[in-house]
Amino acid sequence: MSEKPSDIAVRAWARLIRAQQKLLEHVEADLTGAKLPPLGWYDVLLELQREEGGCLRQFELCEKVLLSKYNLSRLLDRLEEAGLVKRQPCKEDRRGAVVTITASGRAMQKKMWPAYQRAIEQHFARHLSADEAEQLSQLMKRLIDSPG
């Protein structure tokens, strides 16, 4: 027997999705207005920059940025073409690839951060008190950590 979500839960779900879409649209618009690449580029560059040696296996990167393999592969094509990352065959598994951030990629990630930081403040953080932001963070963590 399947449980039906309450009307309150359905409303919260819809608002969560709408809020995410609206916030991402604002961030993308701000990055475009600053003549910077899309947020997906920042996400990939940040995850690589955080790693010692600046590299990850492509499947590991896919897990961190939450893009589909197809979308990540196309995004990596564009990042590589722009000189921000390089891909090389994995020594342990020739079918896999290792993605490494380049010096230009590190510079681009640093260049993008101020515009992204302003967008987070303007479109998200200023609408919440510190306590509300912490509560929201804990609620989202509970959903992320949930087994399903």
Q: What is the pLDDT of residue 123?
A: 98
Q: Which parts of the chain register pLDDT below 50?
A: none
- Residue pair 4/75 in contact by the 8 Å Cβ criterion: no
> Beta strand pairing status for 85-89 and 55-57?
unpaired
Q: What is the pTM of this model?
A: 0.88
User: From start to end of the chain, where are the E strands?
Assistant: 55-57, 85-89, 97-101
Q: Return all residues near 93 (Cβ < 8 A) that are at least 6 apart.
A: none
- Extract the tokens encoding 59: 């499947």
Return the CATH fold of 10-120.
Arc Repressor Mutant, subunit A (1.10.10)
Instruction: Report the alpha-carbon distance of residue 119 to residue 126 in Å, rounded.
Output: 10
Q: Parse the chain into domains and list their residue ranges.
A: 10-120
- Phi/psi class of residue 97: alpha, beta or left (left: φ > 0; alpha: ψ in -120 to 50)? beta
Place of tokens 């709408």: 18
Q: What is the pLDDT of residue 67?
A: 67
